[in-house]
Structure 1
Amino acid sequence: MPLLMITGYPSSGKTHRSTQLHTYFTSRISSSSLPLRAIHISDDTLNVPRSAYAEARTEKTARAELMSAVKRELTRDAIVIVDAPNYIKGFRYQMFCEAKAVQTPSCVVEVHIGTPIDTCRENNLRAREVDPATAYADEVFDNLVFRYEEPNGMTRWDSPLFTVLYDDPAPPGEAIWDALVGNDGRVKMVRPNAATVLRPATQQDYLYELDKQTSEIVAHILTWQKDHPGEEGGQVSVPLVQEVLQLPTKPLSVPQLQRIRRQFLALNRQHSLDKARIGALFVDYLNDQFGR
């Protein structure tokens, strides 16, 4: 069923907007007698403390727990609202892939634009006075704001994108409903692609080819950057791959590329991809990660 990702600065009102949407969807489902249910997943429902975002190790664990909950609840009869920072575009892409794998639509509700950072900081301070466990430490707050990767409605995994301004009385519930469910009450079906359909790997030496081809493409990128110092991005042809790789303006480091490669391997390790298409799919995945 549809996946709705809430994103925004810390203390920008994500939980408030999520609660409004959950109430709207529950009411809409009840009045229409559709065989659906609305599910609200958040750091609070998963008992993830705000302190989890203080260091990389605990934050990684928190994101893994959130992803597990999303996978668990993405069924044929649920609208899943993910109320969490969701500030990393790669993490939003992972959730997009999970939704696409079960042939259900997704969208992003962005609440940070209309909520100034100073207002978010004031909200955080007020929350700390009421209950310190519901607030972020100052250094964690500043770090999350600094690292926030704003959603872009031009990318597949961030669209359709709905922006909620600070003084809006409520999110555009009807528009979001139409994007995910439709006026006829039938949840829209999404056609999965080869990178998201889970099938047993049956081709001989598939895992070897998956590792080999992705490693060669990473090495090709690093070699290109070394041979073109100072160039800001550009199109790069990859041997034996028809798709063109569009590099970002900032140079890519080895850890960055290896992290993206590991994500791709995790998504496709159990798939039965055509070995001749592994390179093309990895290039397409890289272009998505680079924000093409």
Structure 2
Amino acid sequence: MPVCDQRISNLELILISGYPSSGKTYRSQQLLEFFERKISESEDPKVKRLKTQHIDDQSLGLSRDVYATARAEKDARATLSSTIKRVLGRDTIVVADGMNYIKGFRYQLYCEAKAVQTPSCVVHVGTPAQKSRALNDEALKSSTGGYEPEIFENLVFRYEEPNGMTRWDSPLFTVPYEDAQPPYDAIWEAMVGSDGKAKVVRPNAATVLKPASEQNYLYELDRTTSEVISAITVWQQDHPGEGGGEINITGAEEKIVLPSTAPSLPQLQRLRRQFTALNRQHTLSKSRIQTLFVDYLNDAFQS
């Protein structure tokens, strides 16, 4: 993906996240109606030229059954991601109304947005699991569908709630089930701004996606991330039983800040696999791999 120029671009990505049957599409429609009304009533030409785009499983021809198997779900996420990248353009507000329940996937979309200087936010539909379960049961009994119980419970179990302390989930707007409407004005201000200009998002080497051209890139990605994990485990061996702590990684811009509860080696390896999967198509120098991976770990440790 080429690097965009430095002009301000009025395009925004809004990720909707929540439990299955929590009302994500309902909240999406509320936001779309508000945006369209706001655009039509505005006299500002910068706002007038805005348009909206709603993307959900139904519009992509994806059934709820895709979440029954890992392979089908992976393909569904790829379809959603490619569609979002395709429709992101100037003067477009994209509402991505999907499951978006995996933080690694939200991170991936955050990177895609930042690479083209697109402001993004996450709207968390905060319907409790019990209420979502009841709504899903009602949907199964009606013609509107719903998720099969096994799929529903699996998705709830694996749901990774957005955390506003991480960059890819920020700014974060949570909409409780009891609230009649989302915080329209706050979301509009964060995405479009009071003057019709969204904040300028500048890409950096860590989020600009380019085809992997270095023959040894994947090897370097694997080796460099392994070195970071090794540095953490060595530090933990030298400081047994200690929580917290900071670790310097040669070449990285920031230190690793460990949480109060020391992460286990399986947890660290899982984070490493997630990171390498998300960055297989990047072309980054070793120092940028280190910096981005340290950044990724610090965000994960905070969540």
Normalised by the shorter chain, which TM-score bucket? 0.7 to 0.9
- Contact kept? 2:165, 2:302, Cα under 8 Å: no
Q: SS of 2:176's equivalent?
A: coil
- How does the TM-score come out when normalised to structure 2? 0.83
1:72 aligns with 2:74: no
1:46 aligns with 2:60: yes
Q: Give the aligned partner of residue 141 of structure 2.
A: 129
Relative to 1, partners in 2 of residues 1:215 and 1:265: Cα closer, same or farther, differing over 3 Å?
Answer: farther
- Contact kept? 2:14, 2:122, Cα under 8 Å: yes
Per-residue CA deviation, residues 125-151 of structure 1 (Å, 9 max, x unaligned), is 11111237x311111111211221111
Distance 1:28 1:284 in 2: 37
- Contact kept? 1:111, 1:163, Cα under 8 Å: yes
Distance 1:264 1:46 in 2: 22
Q: Give the aligned partner of residue 243 of structure 1.
A: 254
- Contact kept? 2:210, 2:281, Cα under 8 Å: no
- How does the TM-score come out when normalised to structure 1? 0.86
- Contact kept? 2:225, 2:272, Cα under 8 Å: no
1:171 aligns with 2:171: no
Q: Give the aligned partner of residue 98 of structure 2.
A: 84
1:80-159 equivalences in 2 (<5 Å)? 80-112=94-126, 115-131=127-143, 134-159=145-170
Aligned partner of 1:8 among 6, 18, 25: 18
Distance 1:6 1:198 in 2: 23
- Contact kept? 1:218, 1:257, Cα under 8 Å: no
Relative to 1, partners in 2 of residues 1:65 and 1:239: Cα closer, same or farther, differing over 3 Å?
Answer: same
1:85 partner letter: M
Distance 1:118 1:211 in 2: 41
Q: Give the aligned partner of residue 37 of structure 1.
A: 51
Distance 2:69 2:96 in 1: 22
Task: Tell me the CA shift for residue 96 of structure 1.
Answer: 1.1
Distance 1:44 1:129 in 2: 19
Relative to 1, partners in 2 of residues 1:276 and 1:143: Cα closer, same or farther, differing over 3 Å?
Answer: closer
> Once superposed, what is the RMSD of the aligned Cα atoms?
2.7
Q: Give the aligned partner of residue 30 of structure 2.
A: 20
2:60 partner letter: L
Task: Tell me the CA shift for residue 239 of structure 1.
Answer: 4.3
2:136 partner letter: N
1:266 aligns with 2:286: no
Relative to 1, partners in 2 of residues 1:54 and 1:205: Cα closer, same or farther, differing over 3 Å?
Answer: closer
- Contact kept? 1:195, 1:267, Cα under 8 Å: no
- Contact kept? 2:17, 2:101, Cα under 8 Å: yes
Distance 2:299 2:57 in 1: 27
Relative to 1, partners in 2 of residues 1:118 and 1:207: Cα closer, same or farther, differing over 3 Å?
Answer: closer
Distance 1:9 1:227 in 2: 41
Q: Which of 232-241 and 157-166 deviates more?
A: 232-241
Taking only the aligned residue pairs, the percentage that are identical comes to: 56
Task: Tell me the CA shift for residue 24 of structure 1.
Answer: 1.2
- Contact kept? 2:31, 2:182, Cα under 8 Å: yes
1:188 partner letter: K
Distance 2:215 2:141 in 1: 61
Unaligned runs of 5+ in 1: none
Q: SS of 1:162's equivalent?
A: strand
